[in-house]
Structures are given as structure tokens and as C-alpha cells.
A and B are shown apart, each in its own frame.
Chain A
């Protein structure tokens, strides 16, 4: 009887025991810094000196600046455009790889996934060497073909496009793998039943497969949107926010506020606002696709 009780008790506490190490890490490296950041955002905290409680002043100061609003819009524009392109191309690649067989499809799948697992600094540096105006490889080819070099990083309109391309290139592989996994999980009977009903390829995708892909697509979209919105490494390495402030995303602004001006209160306010924005976007997206966690 005691043995049975012990087993029952163990069974009851096992989930807590198993999740305990992860919870410790989450609390130590996510929750505590987040709460500290929130606390910091209510203080004047230059050079990490909590000199004066200012309430919401940091938030008001930060969001009454035109530069903050502009950089927020730049962040949103880059994140959303990149997300849409990544989902479309990722879906097309996933459909193609799912239908293709053999080693080629397998190798291609790995190759497309490489950017996601490559260090962001390394990837951004490589792209920078490719896109540089004077000494970039692409402009070298352009010049060899008798054309003027293109300002991939120096023209304020083209630089935004360059940044979107690099950010999208990084995440396409992740979207594709998620969707390939989703497609593989669809029972073959669904396809067979649809074929008996006489659907064409488009109808098969739209009415049979896409509804089944809703969950992996939602997960990919959330991860990619958050990854893009919070990405500091790629914009900082590739364009440094320039030319001018054309690609200054909100994370670059927060970085400068912290490490160039040492205004940690304002930087924390920006980070908390970005965190809230992430949360709202995630909830909105989950609601939009009616995905239940």
C-alpha cells in the first residue's frame, strides 16, 4: 500500500521535478532580468546609478521623441515585410521539398536551413562583404558588366531592402522546416479522399493542406516575427542603422541609449515597450489564426 502511495506521489511530482531545471533557468535569465528592467525603467538610471524615481517619465520622454516613433515604424515595416516573404517562400519550398524525393531534396533542405543556424554576426558580415559599394563582390560583378555600382548599403531606400533580404534569408529555412514537418504529419487519407472528389492541385493545397498547416504556420510566424522585431545583431552589423537613420530599428536605438549614452532608464523603457509590443503581436496572431496553445 505504501509502495502504491509512493508511486502515486512520485507520479504527481514528476512533471514538476522534470520542469524544475528549465524553470530555474527561465526565472534566472528571463524573469528576474525582465523585472529588473521594468524596475529600472521607472528610475533615472544614468551609469547604472538609481538616482531618482521618475515614474512614467522615461516612457513619456522616449515616446515623445520623433526618432523613437520613426525607428518603431522602421522595425515594424522590416519585420512584417520579412515575415510575409518568409512565409510565402518558406511554404513554396516546403511544398516542393515535400513532393520531391531523394537525396537532392534532403541536401537542399539542409542548405536552406544553414542560415538559421549560422551565427548572425558571421552571416551579416558575409552579406556586408557582398553588398559593399566600393569593394563588394556583387558590385564588382555589376561594374564588370559595365554598370554603375548600386548603393546596397549607402542608398537609404535600397539599404532597407538589403536589410529585409538578409533578415528574410536568415529565417526562410526555419519556416520551411516547420512547414515540411507539418506537411509530413498530414494523413495520406486526406489527400486520397480529396483526389477521389476530383480536386485540382490548387484546391488540394487551399482546402486540404493549408488548414492542416495552420498550427506550424502560426508557430513559425510568431517565432519569426519576434526574431525579426528583436533582431539587433543583423541591422547593427550590416548597416549600423544607416545610412543616416534609414535602418535604425528600435533595438539599435535602445542599444545606443544604453551603451553610448549610459541612460539605462530610458533604454529599459524602450525595451519594456518592445516586450509589450511582442506580447500584443503574439496574442493578436494567435487569436487571428485561432490557434489554441
Chain B
């Protein structure tokens, strides 16, 4: 028995050595790239995941010997994992990071500059095609570091059919006061006894977004939300107070939003909007395809518009955010990873992102090349959303850290609505929290 075991082990070892050696020799030119994303590419329902898989397959086809392994991460912890892994020397070759952490990733040298990969070889026309406010916001004076993907802004998602029924012209909504009045007309109980709310928003801190009257009034006010050195700019001023009061009034005075807005997340609000529970919601453009695919009514009826102004004078700006894909500076396969990045933002692939995943295009030429696609009513919002991002949005600076400011904005509402703070006290508290967290450290 013992003899048999010894012989078996020897045979197994010999076979391992032979086949392992053979395989290594055969694949000596093979390159494996690791890609960290929040998308699950085995999904068949998520448009972005489906296209990412398609892009990877096409890249692998045109680059024999390159194997891209997607390691799906939980999106809330993906940025921290990128930072930790980069420090530890074990980050993925290609990774995605959100706008809020893009600046910190650049500062900490996590990204390999695009100029070292492919950008310097591009023609002037190619550079102009990619050029956008979002892309340029990631320029530190010397280098660009990332390709912005899945970019979007926040605004008002609304039901065109209900607006028409109640005789409301979306163009007539210039101020939050106008929005509140329109929402009053849109708040009713339908024939099935179901209450339809005029305006929906989720303030639960479980999911934080830069939405609602307060952050957008602050982005739009003179000097914006942050000073040039990253300090809160006038967070307790009259504009901020008026905006926070409006957020409270939409529930207490106008009664166009449910009291449960304090406890629901924006995820709940998207689901309820798709189910027909709201006529308007504060929403991100990036969620439009999902809502369209889930809604219980004709998806052509969903429109998108910019946030109104708080006082009719000051501008309202939305927070434009998304994900940024880049190459890790410590990667051993930077060149081929750079080729993948270049491939992902090629005109052909950008068209795929737009037409199959309904994303806002990365390249200017994609809009022109897919004119027919944007003429379809279900897709027309992309043009509106792109216009909002290009002209009425705030894109986070890479020069200072503003971690948790979205949470501060939602928290201001919660302190006033749930804990009974005055509007001024609530704003002062969140301003102090922000300074303590990001500035006085």
C-alpha cells in the first residue's frame, strides 16, 4: 500500500512538472490584467456591465495573449480598497474610482499619467474630441490621469405625461417656488386610491447624493460651495438658509413630499418613481436607463431638467460626478493597460456605451455620429443631461479634499427636520463638522 502511494505521488509530481512547464512555455507572452470595477460583468440586465464585458471581449480578440480579469468590488468600499491596495503594492492594473476620491488618488500617485501611456501620441483632433470640463478637471497642470466614465449630473426627473395632464410646462419652472407650486398640482390620489406625491427625495444617510435645493443653491451661489482652499463658502448665508427652509417647506408647508423622505434613501425613491409613486424626483442622470427599464409606465414619458434657482436670481448648479478609469502607477503591465484605456474611449467603444448602455458620451464626435439614436424619445434626455453637465454643473476640484460634504448637506436637513434644529443651527453644525473633518486635521 505504501509503495503504491509513493509511486502515485511520484507520477503526479512528474505530470505536474511536465504540464506546468509546457504551459508556461506556451504562454510566455501572455499578459493578465486585473480590473477593479463595481460592475458585475456576469449581469445580463445592467447595460453598463453588458457593455463592459463586450469591450473586454473585443479587446482580448484584438490583443491575443491578453487576458483581463474583472474583480467586482462593492462600490462603497472600492475607493478605500484602491488606496489601501496601492499603499500595499497590490492594486489592480486598471481600476475605477469615483469623482469624490479622484483628486486624492492623483495626489497620492495612484494613477499613471495618461501622457506616459498614450495621450502624447494622440493627434490634436483626438485630444479635442475627448476634451471636456470633466476631463480637464482632472488635469493637475502637468498631466491628465483618467478617463471619465458613466458621468452624470443631478437634476429633476419628471413624468411628462402627468405634467401634460395637469397643464404644467416644465420650461415654466424657474425657481423652487415654481417647482413647489407645480408639485402641489401633481400631488393627488389616483383612481386606485394610491397617493401620488408631487416631489420625491431621499435624505437617509445610508445613501448620500448631492441632491435637493441646498447643495445646488450652494454650488450656484457667488463663489460656489467651496473656497479655493477647500473651505465651506458661506454655508450659513441667506442663500443656504433659504434653500434649507425650502427643503423643509416642501414637506411641511406645501405637503408635496412625504414625511418619510427623512428615512428613505434615493434608491427607494428611484424604485417608487418607477412604480408611479412620484411625479418628480431629485435624481441622477446616470440612473435614467435603470428607471426607464423598470418603470410601470411608458419610459418615453420620463423627462429630465436642471434644478431651478432658489431665488430666481442666483444660478442653480448641480454636482456632476461619475467614475474615472485609470491605470495603476505600480502596474507591471502599464503599457498594455494603457492600450485598454485608449480602447475603452475609442469612438467605436464610446458609441457602444451610448447606444447599448445609454451613457452620456465621452467623446464629442459620438453625439454627431449617433444623431439618429438621440432622436428616439427614450434617448433624448441624454442631450439634455449633457447640456446640464456642460453648462450648469460643479465638477469637484482635485486640489482639496471635501469628503463627506454630500452627507453634510443631507444631515443639515435631518438636523432641522428630525432633531428640531433651527435652519441656522443646522447649517452651522454641518459647516463645523466639515471643517473639523477636512480642514482642521
Contact = CB atoms under 8 A, between A and B. Distances in A.
Q: Do A and B come from one complex?
A: yes
Contact of A151 (B88, B208, B260): B260
A259 B206 contact: no
A190 B60 CA distance: 74
Nearest to A258: B80
A22 interface: no
B437 A243 contact: no
Interface band, chain B = 35 or more
Contacts of A245: 414, 419
Given A47-B83, A48-B87, A49-B87, A242 B263 contact: yes
Nearest to B437: A261
A48 B87 CA distance: 7
Interface string B186-228: 0000000001000000011111100000000000000000000
B72 interface: no
B11 interface: no
* Centre residue among A159, A239, A243 by max chain B CB count within 10 A: A243
B258 A240 contact: no
Interface in A220-245: 236-237, 239-245
A153 to B, nearest CB: 5
A125 B259 CA distance: 21
B259 A133 contact: yes
Nearest to A61: B436
Given A153-B263, A261-B403, A133 B277 contact: no
A262 B260 contact: no
B84 A48 contact: yes
B272 interface: yes
Interface of B: 76-77, 79-80, 83-84, 87-88, 101, 104, 108, 195, 203-208, 258-260, 262-265, 268, 272, 275, 277, 403-404, 407, 414-415, 417-419, 437, 441
Nearest to B413: A244
Given A47-B83, A240-B204, A260-B403, A154 B259 contact: yes
6 contacts: A134-B260, A134-B277, A240-B204, A242-B204, A259-B80, A264-B80
A268 to B, nearest CB: 13
B400 to A, nearest CB: 13
A170 interface: no
* Centre residue among B204, B259, B262 by max chain A CB count within 10 A: B262
Contact of B265 (A159, A240, A263): A240
A209 interface: no
A133 B263 contact: yes
Contact of A48 (B80, B262, B272): B80
What are the 4 A-B residue pairs with the smallest beta carbon separation, nearest first?
A240-B206, A244-B418, A133-B260, A154-B263
Contact of A240 (B205, B275, B403, B437): B205
B80 A151 contact: no
B247 to A, nearest CB: 14
A237 B415 CA distance: 21
Interface in A247-266: 256, 258-264
Contacts of A243: 204, 262-263, 414, 417-418
Interface residues of A, number: 32
A259 B204 contact: no
B441 to A, nearest CB: 8
Given A239-B263, A240-B263, A242-B203, 16 more contacts: A47-B80, A47-B83, A134-B272, A135-B272, A151-B259, A240-B204, A241-B205, A241-B206, A242-B206, A243-B263, A244-B417, A256-B205, A256-B404, A258-B80, A259-B77, A261-B404
A262 B441 CA distance: 13
A77 interface: no
A208 to B, nearest CB: 48
Contacts of B83: 47-49, 262
Contacts of B417: 243-244
Nearest to A235: B206
Contacts of B277: 134-135
A246 interface: yes
Given A134-B272, A261-B437, A154 B76 contact: no
Contacts, number: 103
A159 B264 CA distance: 12
Nearest to B200: A134
Contacts of B272: 134-135
Nearest to B438: A261
A246 B263 CA distance: 10
A239 B104 CA distance: 30
B407 A236 contact: no
A156 interface: yes
Interface in A135-165: 135, 151, 153-154, 156, 159
B88 to A, nearest CB: 8
Contact of A260 (B108, B407, B441): B407
Given A132-B260, A260-B403, A260-B407, A244 B265 contact: no
A154 B260 contact: yes
Contacts of A154: 259-260, 262-264
Contacts of B258: 133-134
A262 B418 contact: no
B126 to A, nearest CB: 33
B101 to A, nearest CB: 8
B85 to A, nearest CB: 9
Contacts of B207: 240
Contacts of A262: 79-80, 83, 101, 104, 403
Nearest to A67: B433
A263 B437 CA distance: 9
Nearest to A133: B260
A240 B404 CA distance: 16
Given A133-B260, A151-B259, A242-B263, A47 B206 contact: no
Given A240-B204, A242-B206, A159 B108 contact: no
A11 to B, nearest CB: 23
Nearest to A65: B436
Contacts of A261: 403-404, 437
A9 B441 CA distance: 59
A260 B259 CA distance: 26
Contacts of B268: 132
Contacts of A237: 206
A209 B275 CA distance: 54
